[in-house]
Every structure is written in C-alpha cells, then in structure tokens.
Amino acid sequence: MSLRILITSLMAFALLVTLSPVFAETAPSVFEQSVSETFDLWRDGRYEQLFERLSHRGRTSREQFVVKMRGTSIRPACCWQKMENFRVLSEKRSEATVYVKVGLEGVPGTNDSCTREFKLSNEGGAWKMQLNDIVSLAGVSAKKGKHTSHGKKHKNTSSD
C-alpha cells in the first residue's frame, strides 16, 4: 500500500470519526421517532390509529378510548414545543424507558407541559407507548366514565 493511500485513508477515517457524533445527535432515535409519531396522531385527532399504536394492558376498547379522547381538549403542542429534552433512560430488547418534556395545549390556564418518564414496549417490531400514559396526559381516567383533574396530575413546567 502506498504512503499516499494510507494517509488519505487515515484522513478520511479521522473525518468520519469527528463528524459521526454530530450526525448521531441530530438524527432522532427510533424511540424518539415513535413517541413523536404517536403524539402527532393524537394531535391530529386520529384516535383509531392512535389506539393501534399503543400498548394495551387494560380492558379499554377502541370505542371507549376514542370517546374519551374526543371528550378532552388537551393535546400535544405543535412543532418544537411537542417534545423537548428527550433522553433514553434504559433500553432492553422488548422494553425501553424514555424521559421527555411534553408540551400540551388545551390545558385550563396557560400553556402547560409535563416532564416525565414513559415506558415503551416493542410489539411486532414497533415501539409503542402505553395507553394509560396517553390517557393520563389527556386528563381522562383509564376507568370508564371518570375524569381526572389535569392541573393536579402533571407538573406544570410552563415557560415564560
């Protein structure tokens, strides 16, 4: 191998190593993408599709879920306010825990946000949020016919 090829190869390798953290930080993880898409379905009012993207551990039917979600004005904020400070706390083969500040609209009072952990489950090759987490963020109880007080349930982290 000639010296010129060796030097060129080493320079290219050094450039890739230097730039790869930049690309890794800007590209959303599969977890972040999954959470973002879930919030987009909720924001757009596509509750039947949202139900399919959630992990179900209770007895809430699709119809009950749709009625509950249509009965609340709370939804994720748009654009950059939707999710901030996203971090993956733990990752296993079939389960992950993420931490994120979620911007919420329709909360009584001013703009609101909720900072918390969410568990995701890998089901059929897709990472799914828990149905109860979405229902909780929406300010409705997972139990039939009950509503919770949203303002008392979430930590208000509104910014000025």
In a domain, 112, yes or no: yes
Confidence (pLDDT) at 4? 75
In a domain, 71, yes or no: yes
Q: How many residues does the structure list for the chain?
A: 160
Confidence (pLDDT) at 28? 79
* Euclidean distance between CA atoms 79 and 45, whole angstroms: 16
In a domain, 51, yes or no: yes
User: Which range, of 20-24, 49-53, 95-99, averages the lowest pLDDT?
Assistant: 20-24
Q: Which helix (H) or strand (E) holds 111?
A: none
Q: What total number of domains does the chain contain?
A: 1
Compute the half-sphere exposure of residue 17: CA atoms within 13 Å on the CB side of its CA: 6
Q: Residue 4 in 3-state DSSP?
A: helix
* Euclidean distance between CA atoms 160 and 154, whole angstroms: 18
- Taking the whole predicted model, whether its pTM rises above 0.75 is answered as no
Task: List the one residue out of 151, 97, 153 whose CA is nearest residue 122.
Answer: 97
Q: What is the CATH number of the domain that holds 115?
A: 3.10.450.100
Average pLDDT of the chain, as a whole number:
81
* Euclidean distance between CA atoms 94 and 100, whole angstroms: 20
Both tokens of residue 147? 């509503």
Characterise 139 by phi-psi region: left (phi > 0), alpha (psi -120 to 50), beta (else).
left
Task: Please list, in sequence order, all residues whose beta carbon lies within 8 angstroms of the beta carbon of residue 42, skipping any fewer than 6 positions away.
Answer: 50, 69, 75, 76, 134, 138
Confidence (pLDDT) at 146? 40
In a domain, 14, yes or no: no
In a domain, 17, yes or no: no
Confidence (pLDDT) at 46? 98
Range of the domain at 61: 29-153
Fill in the amino acid letter for 160.
D
In a domain, 18, yes or no: no
In a domain, 113, yes or no: yes
Instruction: List % helix, strand, coil for the chain (3-state, nearest 5).
Output: 40, 25, 30
Q: Residue 116 in 3-state DSSP?
A: strand
Confidence (pLDDT) at 58? 76
List, for residues 36-88, the tens digit of each pLDDT value: 999 999 999 999 999 999 998 678 999 999 999 999 999 999 999 999 999 99
- Its sign, for the CA torsion 153, 119, 99, 51, is negative
